[in-house]
Structure 1
Amino acid sequence: MFATLLKKINDAKLLPKISDTERHALEAGSVWIDGEFFSGNPDFRAIMAEAYPGLSEEEQAFLDGPVEELLHRVDGWKLRETRRIPDDIWQFLRDKGFFGMIIPKEYGGSGFSVLARSAVMTKTSGLGPVGTLIVIPNTLGAAELLLEYGTQAQKDKYLPGLASGEYVPCFGLTEPTAGSDAASIKAEGIVFKDEDGEAKIRLNFSKRYITLAPIANIVSLACSLHDPDNILGKGEFPGITVVMLEKGMPGLELGDHHLPIGAFDNGPIYGTDVVAPVENIIGGVGGAGQGWRMLMEQLGGGRAVSLPASGVALAKTSAAAVGPYSIVREQFGIPIGLMEGVEAKIARIAALTYTLESARVYVCAGVDSGNHPPVISAILKQQTTEIGQQLITDGMDVMAGAGVMQGPNNILGGGYVGAPVSITVEGANILTRTLMIFGQGAVRCHPFALDTLNAVQADDVPAFRKAILGWTGHSVKNFFRGIVRGITRGWSVRTPVNDETAQYFRKLGWASTRFAFLTDLAMFLIGGKLKQRGKISGRFSDALSWMLFGVTTLRRFQAEGSRKEDLPIVHWALRYSLHQVQLAFEGIYANFDVPVLGWILRYPGRFWLKINPLSSGPRDSMDRAVAASIQAPGEQYQRVAGGMGTPRDDEPGMGRLLNAWRLVSAAQQPTLKVRKALHKKQIKAASLSEAIDPALEAGVITQDEATQIRKAEAARLDAIQVDTFSSEDYYKDEVSDNIEEPPLARAANQ
């Protein structure tokens, strides 16, 4: 029976074929808590037992010392205008060890944890090209690949120079015809023997979008290796290989710039008959053909670091600015943050910032614990960069004119302009969401799918029997479990807590059961066509993503002592997360286009979903308490929006805003006395500033209170001003004509 079924599955192509590159991707990294959601019955006690640590004393000292000093040293506006990193900043980065955070101490680095590197990248994300200069040496690239796969000779040669900043690295992967589909790169390396009989590689390539390429002096180049004489003993086409190249090699062209939004160093790399010894292959001859595996394994954890840091930085910057601005800025005689429409935006910013930070810490800690979860990392990359962009846009909406007028005092503009960069790199978010997260997760994280696929491709009947019986039992359990949990709204789910957050564990368990059963239906009934069904795969990805955010938010709340004052944020965030899962399920039910079952899901199924929802989202009445969390100075503001530096009071932008906010907040009580006197017509004045003297004369306030209000009002007025420019500064009459098209030889190589 099973042999016949196996034959029918192969003949009908019900399951997708797995190419070699896809297999490398599937086998790279590890399954982590994502497997719990695919099980349909997550072990929340184990999920809550995962580490949620802080930084070590050394790491925190680095953040509080050199990183904080760097923030004060860099003139962000001037940097955006000139696009050139000053020499003294370069030297400061070298002296303080910014280039070697990923490198162990024995090679001259700091050996910082993933969590610490992520924290530094978050804090420096707003520094434009300086932030980028910190990210690239400490994430996927030369140092990380060498540490994991390099020979001892390669580590000894390159790691000390990378740690000191002597070597500035870039990673040559993307080409005109190979972006997210990196496996299709055309850069070619041909193995040959020179006149002395030494094995070497002749490389020809055209790369683009390479961050730091214009200022780099060492390149990790991904190429397709061709060994026609089998010199390396790995066949004629060993596969994708990573080769180290140094600036100055004949035929290697570096130095030209692209001009990305956000203005950081990025440009093309060209190579014409560049010759490198085979010893430059990362991992030596043994690393030939292993490049794709290397990249997939490192991306499994690497996607959790730099780009999520940038997304979290956008969220935190928005929260840190918008909360104070909404109190400092007044319209119609009240702070704009007390208006319900504005309040709703601020609540969303505060709650989702809290959520994104919880996911950043949880996942980075997981990578530090030895996990390399490619699905979880992909979720973190895609969702944090998307949500970060949404929140910076919300912040622009609240700050209105102050958000769109450029200059040294604009707090959000730089992040708003640069936000799309993180969405497009390391796999465009559209493809990450619609192809990678669920496409990889459904096979890799499912308890039986990969075993079944392997058995089908190997035509192994005993293995197939074992896998398919296990899968069938898994589906039947989740079918009946889903009925029970749907009727009881999750009350049969075991929760690790007995407080008021237990309801969310129940609903997440209920959601996981439905998710797992729908996954089985999709794999059984849509099968190999799931690769092309990106819209429905994207909805599965959304459901998985927001279940992850739900548990990481709960883990943070627990790890930070279950503070009562944070409960409004947690309630808002969990209701929002569950509502996103609900919307994803509704979309799956509406678009599950298979005979009979599709109709059942589309009509009676969706009706049941709507009358028995996981969540209808946060209620309007919840916004006030959540918005207030970032509208008053104190510990709660720091927990939500902290980690982005402490500007001096006289620094433009955030410095003068926070100074005004503190003064306005401190003067709240005497200001309220004056406003009440105006309302009761005890005094007459056209504005608060004009009412100070009459209120003082009427005994409404004391002299000290009058002084306090005056200082607050002066600071308020200063904080809401925007930059102005003279005609000479505004107009830039000279525009460079020195923009060259790639030469024909380069075009042909593309």
Structure 2
Amino acid sequence: MWFFIIALIAVGIVFSVRNIRRSVVTGPIFELFKRILPPLSQTEREAMEAGSTWWEADLFQGRPDWEKLQAFPKPELSDEEQAFIDVHVPKLMSLIDDFDAIHERKDFSPEAWDYMRRHGFFSLIIPKAYGGKEFSAFANSTIVSQISSRSLSAGVTVMVPNSLGPGELLSHYGTEEQKNYWLPRLASGEDIPCFALTAPEAGSDAGAIPDTGVICMGEHEGKETLGIRLNWDKRYITLAPVATVLGLAFKLSDPDKLLGDKANIGITCALIPTSHPGVETGDRHLPLEQAFMNGTTRGKDVFIPVDWIIGGPDYAGKGWKMLIECLSAGRGISLPALSTGNCQLSARTTAIYAMVRQQFNSPLYKFEGVAEGLATLGANAYMTEAVRQMTAMAIDQGNKPSVVTAIAKYHMTEAARSSINIAMDIHGGKGIQMGPNNYLASLYMTMPVSITVEGANILTRNLMIFGQGATRCHPYVFDELIAAANPDQEQALSDFETLLGEHVKFAVGNGLFSFFHGLTGGRLISAPETANKKHYRQLERMSKALALYSDIAMLVLGGELKRRELLSARLGDVLSQLYLTSAVLYHHHKRGYRRDEQVYVDYLVARALKQCEDAMYGFTRHISNPVTGWLLRRIVFPFGRSYAPPADKLTLAISDSLCENSELRTRLTPQVYTDNASDPIAVLQQAYDAILALEPLDRKLRKARKNGSVKDKGSLFQLCDKLLEDGIITEDEAGKIRNADKLRLQVVNVDSFDRHLNPHDSASNVTSLKTG
């Protein structure tokens, strides 16, 4: 007893007397912290400070407020945005023949280019004061998503000027003189922009660009001018072959200190007309046989005035932060939009094809192996639309969530890759025969483009999501790093002490809650009284567990966590799944908890929880200290594994609903273009409707077989003439069967060519299929 009292007094003295506390407890911890988590470099700090945190921070900290999630506004289009989408987007898509653009012209038609220029497709984000559309992120995303369902090449062409590029950089950072000159020209389509960042020796590592600029005096327009002598060699630059104005990122130095007192200024962005002496553009790449313009730009000893720096001389050296902030927003709009269009096209076309196409006298979707793939397609279409809308809403609310946009980019492009692979698998031979009637081949061929651009997916998953999340989303770590970098050691230690106390309470609380929720299966967690109450509870349980795992990871591994990418990526996967599933729940809430969509929500949550659990088990198995791993597992999962993959009944329910419920399928895939009645995707729907209308005749055939009036085997299509001859069906009913059969064969048919690859007409193709 006395020993316990003495121990309490000793602890109290240690923590109450500052000098003792600092020499015995906080001082040594502070020194340890600085060793295991070294201070951020200036570049790292700028990257971390760029953008903002949002809902992902709540999830990372184990504090998701579900009522806050439900209260987020529903993204809405303005009347002007809706009119543009209703009128100009379909018109543009009608002018684009993707097969012709890719395989014949290697470009879009002059009519398509002219329409994009005249109607502002390159000025969606430019303010109205300068002649632009000034559309919301949601509208921008919707436009790109719809165009991408028709032609990914066109989607990329529209996407780039409205993402990272001169238009966005000028709008945010340009001088008034730069805005007044360039933005109206970009808005009218008089100028076409490109932005050159990627170099042969610097891809995803944009901070390593070798391109240089040196402050010096030179001649411009006959006058001696303070300017920059530039040398660059860039590649993979979209629109470079047709661009009239070049945005350029380079490392700027000032050895003679003509601009200021720094010799090494840092990454800088400038705007240069491509007609300027020494600027080289025009050479094209051929990115996986796509039609969008992509190529190189080079310059050797090109002199430009210092006023051509975007934002003017005051923004010299601020290019890295500008790029990070613009990339984070663009990453959350453009590539998720492309991926959503891909997922929705894959889901809609494959579901209809699996209903129309028969094998062994049964529609493809009736085979459970096919149904499994269809369920993934339906779930991916629902998830990507949900994430697209919620992420665009966040950006429209003024947020610049760099972690959220990295999550959206990585997981939505991977979902698109999964979807197009499944779609090709189910379509079989139809998917691999190139031609005007193949609506999948272009998406399949181009999928690596989305995976690669704006940061390769390997980089995004292994370094960015948890790497940024651990410092930006944690309530204390970033401030602790800043304190550690403070040269005033007295103030640094004082700040660190305050943060450390809160950090310890935070970590202990997460550990206790995680263990309690593990014992109770999360059943006592408070959650909104909705159809998804049980889902909210389980996601909050995983959120608490992530907060605990993250603190332990940083404590045990410290700075080594940056290099242990397999471990940090697993924790990033948990954060990602929590965000993606939050978007699904938000989407379902905003759509009024539609009952026919509940199965999609249940499937996606089950899939996400299983992936969270697998990631956490993987983390604890491979962490350096096996005892720590065992303890973490026992705290979060005291009775072993808690989650299972989606049940077979969910898989089959999604497959059936996607194939059999035309209204639901259309609602889940709103971005797919179907306005052209002769378009192969429209023909798919026509065949589906025609076959569905034969259900009464199919019942009549089954009844005739049952009473013995029809003894022959075969389908309605095979027995049509015989049934008419025997008086079982009328001439009008036979006409419906023949029309449905014609459409069905048109769907099943693939393009064929003569030996010189000149196309046959579609009628001969259908005839050969009937007789062959």
Tell me, yes or no, if the aligned pair for 1:683 and 1:694 is still in contact at 8 Å: no
- Alpha-carbon shift at residue 192 of structure 1 (Å): 0.9
Which residue of the partner structure matches residue 92 of structure 1? 115
- In the superposition, relative to structure 1, how do residues 168 and 417 fare at CA in structure 2: closer, same or farther (>3 Å)? same
- Report Cα offsets for 1:604-654 as digits up to 9, x if no partner: 679x477341x2121111122211332135431122122121242322x21
CA distance in 2, matches of 1:355, 1:595: 36
Tell me, yes or no, if the aligned pair for 2:345 and 2:669 is still in contact at 8 Å: yes
CA distance in 2, matches of 1:311, 1:679: 49
- In the superposition, relative to structure 1, how do residues 679 and 17 fare at CA in structure 2: closer, same or farther (>3 Å)? farther
- Alpha-carbon shift at residue 730 of structure 1 (Å): 6.3
Pair 1:228-2:250 in alignment: no
Which residue of the partner structure matches residue 565 of structure 2? 534
Which residue of the partner structure matches residue 741 of structure 1? none
Equivalent of 2:411, from 383, 399, 405? 383
Tell me, yes or no, if the aligned pair for 1:38 and 1:447 is still in contact at 8 Å: no
CA distance in 2, matches of 1:16, 1:52: 42
Pair 1:201-2:228 in alignment: yes
Tell me, yes or no, if the aligned pair for 1:16 and 1:529 is still in contact at 8 Å: no
Tell me, yes or no, if the aligned pair for 2:161 and 2:167 is still in contact at 8 Å: yes
Pair 1:728-2:756 in alignment: yes
- Alpha-carbon shift at residue 656 of structure 1 (Å): 1.8
Which residue of the partner structure matches residue 512 of structure 2? 480
- In the superposition, relative to structure 1, how do residues 692 and 272 fare at CA in structure 2: closer, same or farther (>3 Å)? same
- In the superposition, relative to structure 1, how do residues 674 and 540 fare at CA in structure 2: closer, same or farther (>3 Å)? same
CA distance in 1, matches of 2:726, 2:460: 66
CA distance in 2, matches of 1:335, 1:609: 46
Pair 1:124-2:147 in alignment: yes
- Alpha-carbon shift at residue 506 of structure 1 (Å): 0.1
SS at match of 2:284: coil
Tell me, yes or no, if the aligned pair for 2:518 and 2:635 is still in contact at 8 Å: no
Which residue of the partner structure matches residue 715 of structure 1? 743
After superposition, residues 546-695 of structure 1 pair within 5 angstroms as 546-594=577-625, 596-601=627-632, 608=637, 611-613=640-642, 615-632=643-660, 634-651=662-679, 653-678=680-705, 681-688=708-715, 689-695=717-723
Tell me, yes or no, if the aligned pair for 1:190 and 1:227 is still in contact at 8 Å: yes
SS at match of 2:277: coil
- Alpha-carbon shift at residue 131 of structure 1 (Å): 2.3
- Alpha-carbon shift at residue 280 of structure 1 (Å): 0.5
**Which range moved further: 677-686 or 242-251?**
677-686
Residue identity opposite 1:552 in structure 2: A
- Alpha-carbon shift at residue 7 of structure 1 (Å): 5.1
CA distance in 2, matches of 1:331, 1:551: 39
- In the superposition, relative to structure 1, how do residues 641 and 261 fare at CA in structure 2: closer, same or farther (>3 Å)? same
- Report Cα offsets for 1:454-483 as digits up to 9, x if no partner: 112224011100111111000010011111
- Report Cα offsets for 1:226-282 as digits up to 9, x if no partner: 112222225111111001111121211101111211423111111101111111000
After superposition, residues 483-494 of structure 1 pair within 5 angstroms as 483-494=515-526
Which residue of the partner structure matches residue 332 of structure 2? 304
- In the superposition, relative to structure 1, how do residues 426 and 478 fare at CA in structure 2: closer, same or farther (>3 Å)? same
CA distance in 1, matches of 2:740, 2:533: 44
- In the superposition, relative to structure 1, how do residues 354 and 610 fare at CA in structure 2: closer, same or farther (>3 Å)? farther
- In the superposition, relative to structure 1, how do residues 610 and 140 fare at CA in structure 2: closer, same or farther (>3 Å)? farther
- In the superposition, relative to structure 1, how do residues 729 and 262 fare at CA in structure 2: closer, same or farther (>3 Å)? closer
CA distance in 2, matches of 1:72, 1:336: 31
RMSD over aligned CA atoms reads 1.9
Which residue of the partner structure matches residue 46 of structure 2? 24
Tell me, yes or no, if the aligned pair for 1:674 and 1:692 is still in contact at 8 Å: no
Which residue of the partner structure matches residue 65 of structure 2? 43
- Alpha-carbon shift at residue 21 of structure 1 (Å): 1.1
Tell me, yes or no, if the aligned pair for 2:145 and 2:338 is still in contact at 8 Å: yes
- Alpha-carbon shift at residue 451 of structure 1 (Å): 1.0
Pair 1:258-2:280 in alignment: no
Which residue of the partner structure matches residue 73 of structure 1? 95
- Alpha-carbon shift at residue 113 of structure 1 (Å): 0.4
Equivalent of 1:34, from 46, 52, 56? 56
Tell me, yes or no, if the aligned pair for 1:256 and 1:268 is still in contact at 8 Å: yes
Tell me, yes or no, if the aligned pair for 1:589 and 1:598 is still in contact at 8 Å: yes
CA distance in 1, matches of 2:188, 2:342: 29
Which residue of the partner structure matches residue 53 of structure 1? 75
- Report Cα offsets for 1:397-418 as digits up to 9, x if no partner: 1111111111111111110110
Tell me, yes or no, if the aligned pair for 1:683 and 1:691 is still in contact at 8 Å: no
After superposition, residues 105-504 of structure 1 pair within 5 angstroms as 105-125=128-148, 126-194=150-218, 196-263=223-290, 264-458=292-486, 459=489, 460-496=492-528, 498-504=529-535
- In the superposition, relative to structure 1, how do residues 401 and 2 fare at CA in structure 2: closer, same or farther (>3 Å)? farther
CA distance in 1, matches of 2:133, 2:676: 28
- Alpha-carbon shift at residue 117 of structure 1 (Å): 0.5
Tell me, yes or no, if the aligned pair for 1:189 and 1:223 is still in contact at 8 Å: yes
CA distance in 2, matches of 1:6, 1:709: 85
- Alpha-carbon shift at residue 186 of structure 1 (Å): 1.2
Residue identity opposite 1:49 in structure 2: A
- In the superposition, relative to structure 1, how do residues 193 and 557 fare at CA in structure 2: closer, same or farther (>3 Å)? same
- Alpha-carbon shift at residue 208 of structure 1 (Å): 1.1
- Report Cα offsets for 1:511-569 as digits up to 9, x if no partner: 00000000000011111001101101111111111111111111111101111111111
CA distance in 2, matches of 1:197, 1:466: 56
- In the superposition, relative to structure 1, how do residues 262 and 681 fare at CA in structure 2: closer, same or farther (>3 Å)? farther
Residue identity opposite 2:408 in structure 1: L
CA distance in 2, matches of 1:98, 1:429: 28
CA distance in 2, matches of 1:234, 1:716: 74
Tell me, yes or no, if the aligned pair for 1:319 and 1:640 is still in contact at 8 Å: no
Residue identity opposite 2:212 in structure 1: E
Residue identity opposite 1:536 in structure 2: L
SS at match of 2:145: helix
CA distance in 1, matches of 2:721, 2:209: 74
Tell me, yes or no, if the aligned pair for 1:589 and 1:605 is still in contact at 8 Å: no
Which residue of the partner structure matches residue 543 of structure 1? 574
- Alpha-carbon shift at residue 6 of structure 1 (Å): 4.4
Specify every segment of 5 or more residues in structure 2 that has no aligned partner in the other structure, as ranges.
1-20, 760-772
- Alpha-carbon shift at residue 663 of structure 1 (Å): 1.0
Residue identity opposite 2:538 in structure 1: K
Tell me, yes or no, if the aligned pair for 1:118 and 1:364 is still in contact at 8 Å: yes
Which residue of the partner structure matches residue 748 of structure 1? none
- Alpha-carbon shift at residue 696 of structure 1 (Å): 4.0
- Alpha-carbon shift at residue 494 of structure 1 (Å): 2.0
TM-score, with length taken from structure 2:
0.91
Tell me, yes or no, if the aligned pair for 2:549 and 2:632 is still in contact at 8 Å: no
Identity %: 38
- Alpha-carbon shift at residue 682 of structure 1 (Å): 3.1
- In the superposition, relative to structure 1, how do residues 508 and 84 fare at CA in structure 2: closer, same or farther (>3 Å)? same
**Which range moved further: 330-339 or 46-55?**
46-55
Tell me, yes or no, if the aligned pair for 2:152 and 2:338 is still in contact at 8 Å: no
- Alpha-carbon shift at residue 491 of structure 1 (Å): 2.2
CA distance in 2, matches of 1:240, 1:658: 52
- Alpha-carbon shift at residue 700 of structure 1 (Å): 4.4
TM-score, with length taken from structure 1:
0.94
